[in-house]
């Protein structure tokens, strides 16, 4: 397994955000974590990325215990998070945002990889020197994904990437996720858009109030209508 999370626990003061969650992501897999607002999905990803300190449990990545490693070390290990709400650097240019993704790397390859991202996203290429704040929401999401790709990740974690995007852009985004996966990238995807997530993923987990309620293949989860209604509460939005 590329990523193995065992009994992960996270508390913020009195709030018990993640309650003993265990999950795995295999090499080349897309795994999705589903759940309603406040189910602890973002907290789980932040703990895996090292942005939050778990209060219990272990995280193994690429055969190594990384529980005690800092966020910046995990990026060097190949574990990269595309944070919720894009979180691009608004006062940096589009190109500088991409280069920040490659902060842990150096050499001529970085410039070549950046050109590859620009080839993939012509909209970004056209605004390369403009401040990233002028991009549309969809373009900012592409920039956030491109920035993460420049770190040469083994596993990319995406936190609610479809949030606030138009349906057309959401389709493009999921096409991109599938394409990146086909090229060998492993992906852990947190989504409220249940239907889209289950279409692209091979397996999934359902979180409710910080605890794991169900897990299975994407087909099993998609077929279990009661589960979707009970824990996701947005079956109609997703349909």
Name the residues that contact another protein, by CB under 8 A.
49, 51, 70-72, 75-76, 80-81, 83, 87-93, 96, 99-101, 103-104, 106, 129-131, 147, 151
* Alpha carbon distance 29, 138 (integer Å): 25
Nearest alpha-carbon partner for 61 in 75, 77, 73, 46: 77
Nearest approach in angstroms of CB 75 to another protein is 4
Q: CB 96 → another protein: shortest distance, Å?
A: 6
CB atoms within 10 A of CB 87: 13
Tokens representing 18? 């993640």
Nearer to another protein, 97 or 194 (CB): 97
Nearer to another protein, 87 or 217 (CB): 87
Smallest separation, CB 234 to another protein (Å): 27
Cβ proximity to another protein, 64 vs 182, nearer residue: 64
Nearer to another protein, 97 or 192 (CB): 97
Give the list of residues 6+ apart from residue 197 with CB closer than 8 angstroms, or none.
Answer: 32, 34, 189, 191, 204
Q: In what order do the strands lie in the sheet with 3-12?
A: 15-25, 3-12, 56-61, 64-65
Q: How would you label 7-36 residue by residue, b for 16+ Cβ within 10 Å and e otherwise? A: ebbbbeeeebbbbebebbbeeebbbbbbbb
Query: Least distance to another protein from the beta carbon of 159, Å?
Result: 10
Our CB check for another protein shows the closer of 73 and 166 to be 73
The token pair that represents 42 in the structure block: 């973002």
In the bound complex, what is the minimum distance in angstroms from residue 9's beta carbon to another protein?
A: 21
């Amino acid at each position: 397994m590329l990523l193995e999370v065992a009994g992960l626990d996270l508390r913020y003061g009195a709030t018990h955000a993640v309650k003993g969650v265990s999950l795995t992501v295999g090499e080349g897999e897309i795994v999705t974590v589903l759940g309603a607002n406040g189910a602890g999905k973002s907290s789980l990803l932040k703990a895996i990325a090292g942005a939050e300190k778990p209060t219990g449990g272990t995280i193994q990545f690429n055969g190594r215990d990384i529980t005690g490693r800092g966020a910046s070390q995990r990026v060097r290990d190949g574990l990269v998070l595309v944070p919720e709400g894009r979180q691009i650097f608004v006062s940096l240019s589009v190109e500088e945002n991409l280069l920040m993704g490659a902060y842990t790397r150096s050499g001529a390859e970085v410039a070549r990889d950046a050109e590859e991202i620009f080839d993939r996203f012509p909209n970004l290429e056209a605004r390369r020197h403009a401040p990233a704040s002028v991009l549309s929401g969809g373009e900012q999401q592409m920039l956030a994904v491109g920035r993460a790709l420049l770190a040469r990740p083994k596993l990319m974690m995406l936190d609610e990437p479809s949030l606030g995007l138009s349906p057309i852009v959401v389709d493009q985004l999921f096409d991109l996720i599938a394409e990146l996966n086909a090229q060998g990238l492993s992906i852990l995807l947190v989504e409220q858009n249940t239907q889209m997530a289950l279409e692209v993923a091979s397996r999934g987990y359902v979180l409710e109030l910080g605890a794991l309620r169900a897990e299975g293949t994407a087909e099993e989860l998609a077929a279990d209508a009661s589960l979707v209604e009970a824990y996701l509460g947005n079956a109609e939005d997703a349909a």
